């Protein structure tokens, strides 16, 4: 019975160490991107029609009026010199992301954003809009009904707006017309771009790849790049090779950093942050002033006057008179526990961390957003 219990405890401890190690490592797929395999941004200008009077005011948005006239002329309708009064048309900018290896005929999502003084795009339909890449070529064409998450309602004396009704989505609203050539199988060298550049992480990725391949094919070039030389015998199986490499486990290294957002009071402290021996005291001085004026009336049949006599009470209270000692080399958990013992909020904690950094007692970078 005792032997079984000891075996179970040993297995539990071993499982705990394994779980801890598994949590500390990440796949190369999650740490780096393959250079060249990325999305490309597309943009276009178009018209949304079918709005319920919530479109652009043509007198205030001349580009909408010109676009409407040009579109109608292409369709054989000449309205040059005519007075146009409609609130059912809006000019929009259409944006989308072209995925890597996207083929002709597949669909992608697009976003339409109003350019003029349109109130809402709800219920509108985007007309045929070419989407251009950075090189000026048309890679997709968008058209379809717009889905708007927000709404706007108003009366003569009040109005209500929820969300942003001037931005809408077109799920699968664009068809890809041109593919981006990228011959992955013909490449002899590949580069892995780290999402968080770091010398140690780049070296660990190269070591993991070389151990898996059994030959020195990976080399860290800088903190953000690992170059991979493909053996000749694997040129025809690049996809299979990258699939195996992406699944390799690597423990990323992190720089000691504290990130502070003073606007919202959010504080993020990295696990490698260390503090030298320092004493911290924090106190809030509260001054209370209360006014309770009294009325002073003269005695009956006297010549005095009724006046208001001021009465002021001033109180001073100082809270948080504690002094906490933060010892050298403490962990993140000990730092948090020690500062929480002072009973302070995020705003005061930001000031304390900046003061400790100014004293040279924090071995970490403080980044203020």
Distance, CA of 48 to chain centre: 29
Q: What's residue 14's pLDDT? A: 43
pLDDT given for residue 194 in this prediction: 93
**Distance, CA of 190 to CA of 217 (rounded, Å):** 10
Instruction: Look at the chain and count its residues.
Output: 369
The C-alpha torsion from 26 through 30 and 32 to 33, rounded to 10°, is 160
Residue that wins the pLDDT comparison between 22 and 146: 146
The rounded radius of gyration (Å) of the Cα atoms in the chain is 34
| Structure token pair of residue 231 | 């053996």
- The DSSP element (H or E) to which 326 belongs, if any, is strand 323-326
CA distance 99 to 110: 12
pLDDT, one tens digit per residue, over 164-187 is 889 999 999 999 999 888 777 777
CATH 3.30.70 region(s) of the chain?
Answer: 183-250
Alpha-carbon separation of residue 209 from 27, 51, 169, 234, 304 (angstroms): 12, 56, 42, 14, 99
CATH top class, domain 183-250: alpha beta
Is residue 321 predicted with pLDDT exceeding 60? no
Whole-number Å distance between alpha carbons of 362 and 328: 10
- Does 20 score more than 50 pLDDT? no
The predicted model scores a pTM of: 0.65
């Amino acid at each position: 019975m005792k032997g079984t219990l000891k075996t179970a405890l040993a297995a539990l401890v071993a499982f705990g160490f394994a779980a801890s190690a598994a949590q500390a490592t990440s796949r190369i797929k999650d740490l780096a991107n393959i250079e060249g395999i990325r999305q490309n941004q597309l943009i276009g200008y178009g018209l949304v029609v079918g709005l319920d009077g919530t479109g652009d005011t043509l007198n205030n948005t001349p580009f909408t009026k010109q676009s409407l006239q040009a579109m109608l002329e292409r369709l054989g309708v000449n309205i040059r010199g005519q007075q146009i009064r409609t609130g059912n048309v809006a000019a929009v900018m259409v944006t989308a992301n072209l995925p890597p290896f996207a083929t002709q005929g597949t669909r992608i999502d697009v976003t339409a954003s109003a350019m003029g003084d349109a109130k809402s795009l709800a219920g509108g339909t985007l007309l045929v809009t070419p989407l251009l890449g950075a090189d000026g070529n048309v890679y997709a064409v968008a058209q379809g009904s717009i889905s708007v998450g927000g709404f706007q309602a108003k009366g003569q004396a009040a109005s209500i707006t929820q969300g942003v009704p001037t931005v809408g989505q077109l799920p699968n609203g664009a068809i890809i017309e041109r593919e981006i050539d990228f011959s992955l199988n013909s490449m002899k060298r590949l580069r892995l771009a780290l999402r968080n550049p770091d010398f140690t992480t780049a070296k660990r990725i190269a070591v993991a790849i070389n151990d898996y391949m059994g030959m020195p094919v990976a080399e860290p070039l800088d903190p953000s790049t690992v170059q991979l030389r493909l053996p000749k015998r694997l040129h025809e199986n690049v996809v299979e090779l990258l699939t195996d490499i992406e699944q390799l486990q690597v423990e990323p290294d992190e720089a000691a950093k504290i990130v502070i957002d003073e606007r919202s009071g959010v504080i993020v402290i990295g696990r490698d942050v260390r503090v030298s021996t320092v004493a911290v005291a924090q106190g809030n001085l509260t001054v209370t002033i209360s006014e309770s004026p009294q009325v002073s009336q003269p005695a009956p049949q006297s010549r005095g006057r009724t006046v208001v006599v001021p009465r002021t009470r001033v109180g001073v209270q100082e809270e948080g008179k504690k002094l906490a000692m933060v010892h050298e080399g403490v962990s993140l958990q000990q730092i948090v526990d020690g500062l929480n013992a002072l009973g302070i909020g995020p705003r005061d904690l930001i000031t304390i961390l900046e003061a400790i950094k100014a004293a040279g007692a924090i071995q970490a970078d403080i980044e203020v957003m």
